[in-house]
A and B are shown apart, each in its own frame.
Chain A
Amino acid sequence: MAARRSRWFRRWPVITLALAGLFLSAGFWNILDKQRTARLSDLLHAEAGYRVKLLRRDLSLRVLSMTQLGRLWSANNGLSQDTFQNEAMRHIESVPGLRAIGFLDATGIARFVAPSAGSRALGRNIAQASPERLVAFNRAMSTGKPALTDPVDLVDGSGKGLIVFVPVSKNGAPLGVLSTVFNVNAWIESAKYHEEYVEVDPNFSHLVAVNGVTAFEFDGHVETLPDPSVSRTLDVFGNQLSVQVRPGAQFASAHRGIAPELAAMIVLLSISGAGLCLILANRAWQAEQTARQANERLTENVSRLNAEMSERRQAEARARSAREATSRFLTTMSHEIRTPLNAIMGMFQLIAKADVPDRQKRQAAGGLLASQRLFRELTNVLDVSRIDAGAMTILPRDVETAHLLEDWFNILEGLVQKSDKPLDLKLEKAPDLPKIVCLDPVRLGQIVTNLLDNAVKFTPSGEIRLRLTMDEMDMVLEVIDSGPGLKADDFEAVFQRFYQVHDGMARSYEGSGLGLSISRDLAALMQATLTVENGAKGGSIFTFRLFNVSERDITKTRNTCVPDDQGTTPA
């Protein structure tokens, strides 16, 4: 929900900009379109105005020519038939579209008509022709000014025509009316030949009306549009001459122009471009902000990491210093314990050998044993402290397995001899034992001594076997005794510190219970394992397994262990 709102908030400037762009472009288009329409309208008005003026001028000229004939009549108090005919025909021939000219007396009767041949109007009263003629006649007679009929159907069937009545008077007294009939189509066509006619765009059609009555319809060959159309009206001799102009489709498209659309598109594109620039700039700014924040976070993290590293280095240095101090302390303590103990044990040994009574010899022997036991326990305590402080070092070197076995068996023999127990000792070694192995003989000797000591301690009688074999790449050392064995629950417990095995008679053995714990810790430091299980026939089997022991070439690595892909490496 919050993400959706956030997206919305991020997009509102774009939406606003888009709407603004649309409104602006619509506004621009609207304004320019109105201007375009107005321009079109102006063109139409101009055309209509021009047309109507042209027609009115033409009409005026026609009336003027008739007026001249009327003056001639008035000046001569009438004209003879021949003269009238000649003059009238001359007018008819010279004025396009003129059909006939007639003279009506004050009563409306047509006295002269040119051309006279076939004319039905001669001698006829105007009232008999049509109401429109009569209205115009009477207006001309009454006003003394030319009058125009509404468009009438010409009697010859050539279409619409207009009749102009020009009053003739002499000294203010009306003599009659000169009437002239002209075809509207021919009239409109003849307007083109005026000297003032300007060829305008022919893509127009016109409707000419007089007093609202259509005299001339639109040109049929022009495909016109219903809208727009413009009309202009002028007064012609008291009549309303109107011209309605309707543009053709081509005119509209030629003069329409695309300025509004272009402007709208430009505005829209500009705003879109501006919007795009804004969006890009915003995104760039956001990206910059994000990068800056990420950079700040990174800098903070780096600073924090550096601080942590510094702290850890200091902690490491402190730990190392503490470890070194502990190591120095343990070394010093080891020395300070061993030296006086040496004196004590040495004194007891000397007393035991001296020429003293047996009682003192026994006391000295007891003191020696006690001091030896004290020394063993102090050594164990120091070893545990050294292991816990991480100050126990493993120093592997190349040793001969035969010497190792010999040393260990000698230790076992010494322990058995000292214990005075009826124990058989056996040494078993596999034929595929490597001659030289890389290990720490001192620490391994410590483990083996502890195991052998336990075997002698806990085996009242029977046998103790020391077996050294190879299991693929592992060296396996086993101390097998024929003692009472261990309960399954004790298999792991015996390796715990201060753990001592008790038999059913609650007899505890000497020792603080640190030997096996130290042995296992030393084995782990040597990257080996120390385990115990019961033998098939009873007794215990303590197994020390050293992994990946390979034959060492003593000519290359005398007393040093070179790390290889299979051998051990110095700890």
Chain B
Amino acid sequence: MDCLIVEDDTLLCDALADCVEGMGHATDRASTIEEAMHRLKRQKYELILLDYGLPDGNGLPVSNYAALFCPGVRIILVTGNEIFPNGEHRQVAPSIDWVMRKPVCFDDLSALIDYAELDSAPHNRTHL
């Protein structure tokens, strides 16, 4: 899968990229909303790892933008905040498939990415 990692923290971004690439997927990186949207306009992605807190705002508009430009894309929201504890993201940003809270266990992340790759339909969305 082509994966876009939207994360402003360089170290974490590198770690996530290493994890995803270690699974055999290609990755692109963006550290701002603007950069992410620029990339989404240029290329289609199957998977997006989206950070909530970005320098130029929260990452939710990226999910809506991605759903428009990359239909069928699977989006995992990664956040250090306690937002959407009860699945509220389904109303606020329905394009987001899963929400993972930092620090993300890379084993869990790997399992979820494998699942996303296998299950292309947007169901069983949950909060991890």
- Find residues 329-372 in chain A having any chain B CB closer than 8 Å to their own CB: 331, 334-347, 349-350, 353-354
User: Does B85 have its Cβ within 8 Å of any Cβ on chain A?
Assistant: yes
Contacts of B53 in A (CB 8 A): 335
Report chain A residues within 8 Å CB of B9: 339-340, 343
Q: In the complex, how many angstroms separate the beta carbon of B117 from the nearest chain A beta carbon?
A: 18
Q: Cα distance A349–B11 when bound, in Å? A: 14
Known: A335-B80, A341-B102, A375-B103. A346 touches B12 (CB 8 A): yes
B106 touches A338 (CB 8 A): no
> Are B15 and A341 touching (Cβ within 8 A)?
no
> Across the interface, do B103 and A342 meet the contact criterion of CB distance under 8 Å?
yes
B106 touches A350 (CB 8 A): yes
Task: Name 26 A/B residue pairs within 8 A (Cβ), A-sorted.
Answer: A335-B53, A335-B79, A335-B80, A335-B102, A337-B80, A338-B103, A339-B9, A339-B102, A341-B102, A342-B15, A342-B102, A343-B9, A343-B14, A344-B11, A345-B103, A345-B106, A346-B12, A346-B104, A347-B11, A349-B106, A350-B15, A350-B22, A353-B22, A354-B22, A559-B86, A559-B87
A25-74 interface (Cβ within 8 A of B): none
Complex interface: chain B residues within 8 A of A279 (CB):
none
State in angstroms the CA–CA spacing of A343 and B80 once bound together. 12
Q: Is the CB of A346 within 8 A of B16?
A: yes
Q: How far is the CB of A522 from chain B (nearest CB, A)?
A: 14
Tell me the complex Cα distance, A337–B103, Å. 9
User: Chain B interface secondary structure, helix, strand, loop or mixed?
Assistant: mixed
In the complex, given contacts A334-B82, A340-B11, what are 5 additional A-B residue pairs having Cβ atoms less than 8 angstroms apart?
A335-B80, A338-B80, A340-B12, A342-B103, A346-B19
- Evaluate contact between A338 and B102: CB separation under 8 angstroms: yes
CB distance from B55 to the nearest CB of A (A): 13
A559 CA to B103 CA in the complex, in Å?
A: 26
Q: Is A263 an interface position by the 8 A CB rule?
A: no
Determine the chain B residues whose CB is within 8 A of the CB of A209 once the complex forms: none
Is there contact, CB below 8 Å, between B81 and A334? yes
Q: Is residue B105 within 8 Å, beta carbon to beta carbon, of the partner chain?
A: yes
B56 beta carbon closer than 8 Å to chain A:
no
Tell me the smallest distance from the CB of A333 to a CB of chain B, in Å. 10
Q: How far is the CA of A87 from the CA of B7 in the complex (A)?
A: 175
A190 nearest CB across to chain B (Å): 141
User: Is B35 among interface residues, defined by CB-CB distance under 8 A?
Assistant: no
Assembly CA distance A341 to B12 (angstroms)? 8
Give Cα A345–Cα B16 distance, bound, in whole angstroms.
Answer: 11
Q: What distance in Å separates the Cβ of B124 from its nearest Cβ neighbour in chain A?
A: 14
Nearest A-chain residue to B14, judged by Cβ: A343
Residues of A close to B12: CB separation below 8 A: 339-340, 342-343, 346
Cα distance A336–B53 when bound, in Å?
A: 10
Decide if B114 is an interface residue (CB 8 Å cutoff).
no
B18 at the interface (CB under 8 A from A): yes
Identify which of A338, A343, A353, A395 contacts B11 (C-beta below 8 A).
A343
| A395 lies within 8 A of B80 (CB) | no
Judged by a CB distance under 8 angstroms, whether A442 is at the interface is: yes
Complex alpha-carbon distance, A442 and B85, angstroms: 8
Query: For the complex, is A397 an interface residue (Cβ under 8 Å from B)?
Result: yes
The A interface, classified by DSSP as helix, strand, loop or mixed, is helix
A344–B87 Cα distance when bound, in Å, is: 28
Cβ-closest chain A residue relative to B88: A559
Which chain A residues lie closer than 8 Å to B86 at the CB level? Answer: 395, 397, 559
Minimum distance in angstroms from A552 CB to a CB of chain B: 15
Given A338-B102, A342-B103, A342-B104, the answer on whether A347 and B85 have CB atoms closer than 8 Å is: no
Closest-CB distance, A341 to chain B (whole angstroms): 5
Which chain A residues lie closer than 8 Å to B101 at the CB level? 338
Interfacial residues of chain A within 393-441, with CB under 8 A of chain B in the complex? 395, 397
A-contact bits for B7-48, CB 8 A (1 contact / 0 none):
001011011101100100000000000000000000000000
**In chain B, what residue has the closest Cβ to A443?**
B85
Shortest distance from the beta carbon of A436 to any chain B beta carbon, whole Å:
14
User: Which chain B residues lie closer than 8 Å to A337 at the CB level?
Assistant: 80
Which 9 residue pairs are nearest across A and B when measured between Cβ atoms? A335-B80, A346-B15, A338-B80, A342-B103, A343-B11, A338-B102, A343-B12, A349-B106, A342-B102
Q: A335: which B residues are within 8 A, CB to CB?
A: 53, 79-81, 102
Contacts of B22 in A (CB 8 A): 350, 353-354
Residue pair B105, A349 in contact (C-beta under 8 Å):
yes
Could you say which residues of chain B place their CB within 8 Å of the CB of A334?
80-82
Docked complex Cα distance between A335 and B102 (Å): 8
Complex formed: what's the CA distance from A146 to B107 in Å? 173
Bound: A335/B55 CA distance, A: 13
Shortest Cβ distance from B7 into A: residue: A339
Q: How far is the CB of B81 from chain A (nearest CB, A)?
A: 6
Residue numbers in B under 8 Å from A341 (CB-CB) = 102-103
Complex: how many Å from CA A59 to CA B81? Answer: 147
Bound Cα distance A397, B11 (Å): 36
The residue in chain A whose Cβ has the minimal distance to the Cβ of B53 is: A335
A350 lies within 8 A of B85 (CB): no
Please give the distance in Å from B75's CB to the nearest CB on chain A: 18
Within residues 60 to 91 of chain B, which ones have a CB less than 8 A from any CB in chain A?
Answer: 79-82, 85-87
CA distance A335 to B101 in the complex (A): 10
Closest to B101 in A: A338
CB pair A331 B81 closer than 8 Å: yes
List, in ascending order, chain B residues with CB within 8 A of A350's CB. Answer: 15, 18-19, 22, 106
Q: Which of A331, A336, A347 contacts B15 (CB 8 A)?
A: A347
Interface string of A129-153 (1 = CB under 8 A from B): 0000000000000000000000000
Q: For B81, list chain A residues within 8 Å (CB).
A: 331, 334-335
Which chain B residue has the least Cβ–Cβ distance from A350?
Answer: B18
Least Cβ–Cβ distance between A22 and chain B, in angstroms: 92
CB under 8 Å from chain A, chain B span 102-122: 102-107
Quote the shortest CB–CB distance from B16 to chain A (angstroms).
Answer: 7
